[in-house]
Structure 1
Amino acid sequence: MASSGQPSKPTPTGQGEGPAPPGKPTTVESHVLDMGAKMLQAMKPIRKIQQHACTFALYAHDLTRQIETHHFVSRLNQDVLQCAVYDSDLPTARLIGVEYIVSDKVFEGLPAEEQKLWHFHAYEIKSGLWACPRVPEALSKPELQDLSKTYGKFWCTWQVDRGDRLPLGAAALMMSPQGVNLGRVRPDLVKSRDENYRLSTDELKASRLELPEPDQWINPNADYWKQHGKGFALDVVETEMKRMAPFP
């Protein structure tokens, strides 16, 4: 994959309301297999998912495209988290991408070119956009303190906001909302999320005022678009294939 200029323009269909994927209804036989496998297999990576966070993301090549995202978080250790990202928390939710989250200590060890693909979480946390539905804010506070100093790399593989019925084309790099005009989340998206979970983003923001301000220690390579006005987009390009030598 290589950088490209302008991906195709989306055809918005409403937040998380694209048509269902093509296909026949799930058969009884498939349901039986799924139930049996669930009883017999350990599913250890899935069982490591312990948290659900709801927030918002912006496409790195087009900040006018914004989506509500649901991150189901598992912890590899205290410095590295991995998130399966869905378009909702319903049983019919579509897996739309993956985000990796690392501490500031880990991030500082990455090459400068790699750091440009990552975003900082401080504003997202402090502004109340990152929410843990149904979890009391007091219980979340210690985790939020740590998360506010982390960096994330989020690849969206299924662009449901443009109505894609399947994951199509190259993955899209996503950015975190920021406290600037070009990086603000649309009020209608925030209002819809708040009403759905009976929470108040403004109240969450007020409760997080004591979290540290990041301006003095945020790495300038993160959120590259803020400094340079340039985003990143991927395209699929044809390339020479490396082939295996014949087996003896």
Structure 2
Amino acid sequence: MLASSVEDPGAMPPGDGSVPPGKPMSLGQKVVDKGAQMMQTLKPIKQMSQHVCTFALYSHDMSRQIETHHYVTRLNQDFLQCAVYDSDDPTARLIGIEYIVSDTIFQTLEPEEQKLWHSHAYEVTAGLWVNPGVPEAIQRPELRNFAQTYGKFWCTWQVDRGDRLPLGPPALMMSPQVVNMGKVMPELVTKRDEKYKISSEELILSRADLADGTAPETVVVSNADYWMQSGKGFAIDVDFTDM
């Protein structure tokens, strides 16, 4: 066995203490980057149309919870892809990717594949899923759509444990839920709400009808949120294989 998503990375790589380790960007490099930015189309990035702030829990240790920032590209009405960052700052670190599918697509997946996915209904109705800066009235139609979707989120950089580089294999992430281990720590929500000057409690009241009775606390849908049925999470191991 080479590595596991549950293992600490050990000694950090040498550097000047910045995250990640490395020298400050030179003036020459900034000029090169700015020139490339002006001359290239960057078409995939320009298709990102939404910023969603929410929370995620590690499948192998749900006491580890992080605030996440998803920059969303919609490829069609049933499939979205997200670049996930640890903040919305200019220096934010890219910590993973999430794919989001509609219920229509999710129901076509094999049962074993469904176990890797999580539902979004509770995130939406609990006021955890927000589009910072966008008025709630404008968000509402999209929130109703998101409440009926499922996500598969791979975290590639475990910054919450102090990793200064993306180390080891990716970790599978789960969505917040209303039961025991799935509850988000109140201090995380309070910190996020204060930053964006919102009230999750008020959002809960205004979004009560959005899930249309399909919230995970009332209905178990297929094999999504599998930990709720089995009490088991997923850890990713790297192993040798014959070529």
Alignment TM-score, normalising by the size of structure 2: 0.92
- Asked if the contact 1:54–1:130 (Cα under 8 Å) also holds between the matched residues in 2, the reply is yes
d(CA) in 2 for partners of 1:68, 1:82: 18
Following superposition, the deviation at residue 111 of structure 1 comes to 1.0
- Asked if the contact 2:111–2:222 (Cα under 8 Å) also holds between the matched residues in 1, the reply is no
* Structure 1 residue identity aligned to 2:31: V
- Paired residue for 1:25? 24
Following superposition, the deviation at residue 233 of structure 1 comes to 0.7
- Indicate how the Cα distance of structure 1 residues 147 and 195 shifts in structure 2: closer, same or farther if over 3 A, else same: same
d(CA) in 2 for partners of 1:2, 1:178: 33
CA RMSD of aligned residues (A): 2.0
- Asked if the contact 1:79–1:106 (Cα under 8 Å) also holds between the matched residues in 2, the reply is yes
Task: Give CA-to-partner distance per residue, 1:36-76, whole Å, 9 cap, x none.
Answer: 11111110000000100100000001000000000000100
- Paired residue for 1:213? 213
- Paired residue for 2:129? 130
Following superposition, the deviation at residue 240 of structure 1 comes to 1.3
Task: Give CA-to-partner distance per residue, 1:105-138, whole Å, 9 cap, x none.
Answer: 0001111111000000000000000011110000
Identity %: 62
d(CA) in 1 for partners of 2:166, 2:111: 30
- Asked if the contact 1:3–1:232 (Cα under 8 Å) also holds between the matched residues in 2, the reply is no
- Indicate how the Cα distance of structure 1 residues 10 and 26 shifts in structure 2: closer, same or farther if over 3 A, else same: closer
Following superposition, the deviation at residue 181 of structure 1 comes to 1.5
In structure 2, stretches of 5+ residues that fail to align are: 11-16
Secondary structure (helix, strand or coil) at the match of 2:100 reads strand
Following superposition, the deviation at residue 220 of structure 1 comes to 2.8
- Asked if the contact 1:10–1:162 (Cα under 8 Å) also holds between the matched residues in 2, the reply is no
- Paired residue for 2:234? 232
Corresponding pairs, count: 234
Following superposition, the deviation at residue 201 of structure 1 comes to 0.7
Off by >4 Å, runs of 4+ in structure 1 = 1-4, 215-218
- Paired residue for 1:244? none
Task: Give CA-to-partner distance per residue, 1:167-225, whole Å, 9 cap, x none.
Answer: 00000000000010210000110011001111111111111011112157652300110
- Indicate how the Cα distance of structure 1 residues 79 and 210 shifts in structure 2: closer, same or farther if over 3 A, else same: same
d(CA) in 1 for partners of 2:111, 2:208: 31
> Does residue 1:184 correspond to 2:183, yes or no?
yes
Task: Give CA-to-partner distance per residue, 1:222-247, whole Å, 9 cap, x none.
Answer: 01100000100101111112xxxxxx
d(CA) in 1 for partners of 2:134, 2:61: 32
- Indicate how the Cα distance of structure 1 residues 100 and 204 shifts in structure 2: closer, same or farther if over 3 A, else same: same
d(CA) in 1 for partners of 2:37, 2:132: 26
- Indicate how the Cα distance of structure 1 residues 217 and 180 shifts in structure 2: closer, same or farther if over 3 A, else same: closer
Alignment TM-score, normalising by the size of structure 1: 0.90
- Asked if the contact 1:2–1:234 (Cα under 8 Å) also holds between the matched residues in 2, the reply is no
- Aligned pairs for 1:146-165 (under 5 A) are 146-165=145-164
Task: Give CA-to-partner distance per residue, 1:8-56, whole Å, 9 cap, x none.
Answer: 2599xxxxxx951100011112111111111111100000001001000
- Asked if the contact 2:56–2:65 (Cα under 8 Å) also holds between the matched residues in 1, the reply is yes
- Asked if the contact 2:3–2:168 (Cα under 8 Å) also holds between the matched residues in 1, the reply is no
- Paired residue for 1:60? 59
- Asked if the contact 1:50–1:74 (Cα under 8 Å) also holds between the matched residues in 2, the reply is yes
In structure 1, stretches of 5+ residues that fail to align are: 12-17, 242-248
- Indicate how the Cα distance of structure 1 residues 3 and 141 shifts in structure 2: closer, same or farther if over 3 A, else same: farther
- Paired residue for 1:245? none
- Paired residue for 1:203? 202
d(CA) in 1 for partners of 2:31, 2:76: 35
